[in-house]
């Protein structure tokens, strides 16, 4: 069963915004410019013509199981992530980003919100959440650490890490997220993503 995201997200925006991240009372964190979405058809590399995406601009349907994420949709940089992910898919020519469960009988070319919240073995081009622009590169590096911990990479090679290596990787994650609440929320979202529809239940 599919839900109409547009109407549900509009309700979510009108409702009281409960913070997904621990904030210090400052203004809402700006979204990374490269993850914004241009008003025109072309890609604006300098970010001068970018408009901040709003839930009302999203027109897609998601599975009922993701209905709980709609209340937090404004914390995710959905359009920016999807656009950059689609660009990454086209530049590499890979089709392996989509899980069998989400692909179904039809081959599709578009990376969707559901895919954004599902396991993938390839690096992410930007953060999943709207975070301060100076933390975006750290967020993508954190995802690469998670991939190493899981022993997967985009070449389909499984390279399980030893116990000592895993302890070291967890230490790196802890170190990066210790002082920044935004990165703690981002890593939580990344780990949730990597455990959803993961073909290896033991990963």
Within 10 angstroms of residue 194's Cβ, the number of other Cβ atoms is 20
**Structure tokens that stand for 7 in this block:** 């109407």
Cβ–Cβ under 8 Å, residues 52 and 36: yes
Cβ atoms of residues 70 and 12 within 8 Å: yes
pLDDT of residue 184: 94
Q: Is the dihedral of CA 82, 198, 192, 176 positive or negative?
A: negative
Residue 16: per-residue pLDDT: 38
Residue 125 neighbours by CB under 8 Å, 6+ apart? 81, 84, 85, 87, 88, 140
The model's pTM is 0.61
Which two tokens mark 171? Answer: 């230490």
Residue numbers of the chain with a pLDDT score lower than 70: 1-63, 65-67, 69-70, 93-109, 153-159, 203
Residue with tokens 């979510």: 12
Environment class of 68 (CB within 10 Å of its CB; exposed 0-12, middle 13-18, buried 19+): exposed
Q: What's the rounded Cα separation, in Å, for the pair 143 and 50?
A: 26
Give residue 176's pLDDT.
86
Q: How many residues does the chain have?
A: 203
Q: What is the pLDDT of residue 171?
A: 95
Return the domain boundaries, the chain: 2-195
**What is the reported pLDDT for 156?**
57
pLDDT at residue 124, rounded to an integer: 95
């Amino acid at each position: 069963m599919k839900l109409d995201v547009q109407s549900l997200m509009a309700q979510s925006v009108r409702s009281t915004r409960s913070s997904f991240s621990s904030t210090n009372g400052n203004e809402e964190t700006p979204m990374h410019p490269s993850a914004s979405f241009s008003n025109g058809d072309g890609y604006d590399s300098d970010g001068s013509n970018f408009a901040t995406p709003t839930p009302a601009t999203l027109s897609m349907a998601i599975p009922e199981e993701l209905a709980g994420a709609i209340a937090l949709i404004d914390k995710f940089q959905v359009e920016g992530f999807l656009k950059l992910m689609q660009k990454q898919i086209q530049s590499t020519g890979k089709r392996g980003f989509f899980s069998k469960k989400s692909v179904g009988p039809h081959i599709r070319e578009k990376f969707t919100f559901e895919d954004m919240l599902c396991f993938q073995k390839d690096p992410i081009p930007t953060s999943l959440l709207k975070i301060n622009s100076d933390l975006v590169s750290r967020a993508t590096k954190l995802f690469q650490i998670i991939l190493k911990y899981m022993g997967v990479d985009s070449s389909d090679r499984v390279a399980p890490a030893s116990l000592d290596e895993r302890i070291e990787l967890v230490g790196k994650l802890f170190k990066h997220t210790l002082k920044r609440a935004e990165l703690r929320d981002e890593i939580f979202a990344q780990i949730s993503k990597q455990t959803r529809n993961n073909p290896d239940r033991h990963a």
